[in-house]
Amino acid sequence: MSPILHIARKELKDGFRNRWILAITLIFALLSVGISWLGAAGSGVIGFTSLPNTIVSLASLAVFLIPLIALFLAYDAIVGEDEDGTLLLLLTYPLSKSQLLLGKLLGHGSMMGLSTLLGFGASAITILIFAEGINGPDVLLAFGGFVLSATLLGCVFLGFAYAISAWVSEKSKAAGGALLFWFTFVLIFDLALLGTLVATEGRFHPELFPFLLLLNPTDVFRLINLLGFDGSGQGVLAVAQDLSFGPGVLYSVLVLWLLLPVGIAYRLFLKRPL
């Protein structure tokens, strides 16, 4: 068996042991079941309303939580092993830096995937069982796409976390850096776009603007989950309404977003002094 699998297996086992997977799954399950059934409470309705509404609400929730969880899970992946002295030891083993990094990604990625599948799967199952007048395959398809894109988004932020972890020399700095990344991509980026849009009264390169959304993986994730639904996006996503990025394009962009930070993390890891 390749060392990648041994490392992934250890990370996954650690995830079960310290109840990380359980905690994340429970959070996802509670929030998603809640949103599925109470999402429309604001408009005076309780119970399942519609699939598009549910998925869009879930996406707005996931966009905050998933990056945070991924960053939290992986920020000490390299700097932590370094502080414990195990990194030096591992590198004297028949094992390359790329294998170590990929093993971590596979392990942490499986944790994200598993928690997302179980957590959001729970709400798909309650909808299938309790909601009336719904089309089963539609629900499965929508939730399947949601889980896949959410896992990919998680992996993108795992990549960011590895890059930070390979770069800094102390765990506390990695934690600070992770928080900064979260702020930038989840809050500041959209605010800045929205601000520009409002300040220029929408005249700032209207053709270019939707493409700017592709510069933020969280927006790509939200665009994926708006696809196929005629519900218009809220906030900055409204600008992409007329634009028809196909799912192929959006998923490819998300995969590119995964390769970029992982590649950077690898370069930084190679240059990291021991």
Partner 1 sequence: MTLIRLHQVQKRFANVEALQALSLTLEPGEVLGLFGHNGAGKTTTMKLILGLEKPTQGIVEVFGQSPWQRHFSTLRHQIGFLPESVSFYPQLTGREVLHYFARLKKVDTRQADGLLERIGLTHAVNRKVKTYSKGMRQRLGLAQALLSQPKLLLLDEPTVGLDPIATQEFYGMVDELRDQGCGVILCSHVLPGVEKHINRAAILGQGRLRALGSLAELRAQANLPMTIRVTSALARSTLQQQLADLEMSTETMRPINGHTLEWESSPGNKMRILRRLAQQPELDDINIQEPSLESLYRHFVEQPTEVRS
CA pair distance 23, 29, nearest whole angstrom: 10
CA pair distance 209, 197, nearest whole angstrom: 9
Q: Using the minimum distance from each CB to partner 1, give the nearer residue, 205 or 267.
A: 267
CB of 177 to partner 1, least distance (A): 23
**List of residues 6+ apart from 244 with CB closer than 8 A:** none
Phi/psi for 86 (5° steps) reads -80, -20
CB of 229 to partner 1, least distance (A): 43
CB of 18 to partner 1, least distance (A): 7
CB of 111 to partner 1, least distance (A): 15
CA pair distance 217, 154, nearest whole angstrom: 10
Indicate the SS3 state at residue 164: helix
CA pair distance 40, 47, nearest whole angstrom: 8
Q: Using the minimum distance from each CB to partner 1, give the nearer residue, 172 or 234.
A: 172
Q: Using the minimum distance from each CB to partner 1, give the nearer residue, 41 or 88.
A: 88
CA pair distance 69, 81, nearest whole angstrom: 19
Q: Using the minimum distance from each CB to partner 1, give the nearer residue, 3 or 231.
A: 3
Q: Is 246 left (phi over 0), alpha (psi -120 to 50) or beta?
A: beta
CA pair distance 62, 152, nearest whole angstrom: 12
Q: Using the minimum distance from each CB to partner 1, give the nearer residue, 7 or 147.
A: 7
Please, are residues 136 and 46 in contact by the beta-carbon 8 Å criterion?
no
The separation between CA 187 and the C-alpha centre of its own chain, rounded to angstroms, equals 14
Q: Using the minimum distance from each CB to partner 1, give the nearer residue, 90 or 179.
A: 90
Binding site for partner 1 (CB under 8 A): 1, 3, 6-7, 10, 14, 17-18, 84-86, 88-96, 274
CB of 83 to partner 1, least distance (A): 9
CB of 1 to partner 1, least distance (A): 7
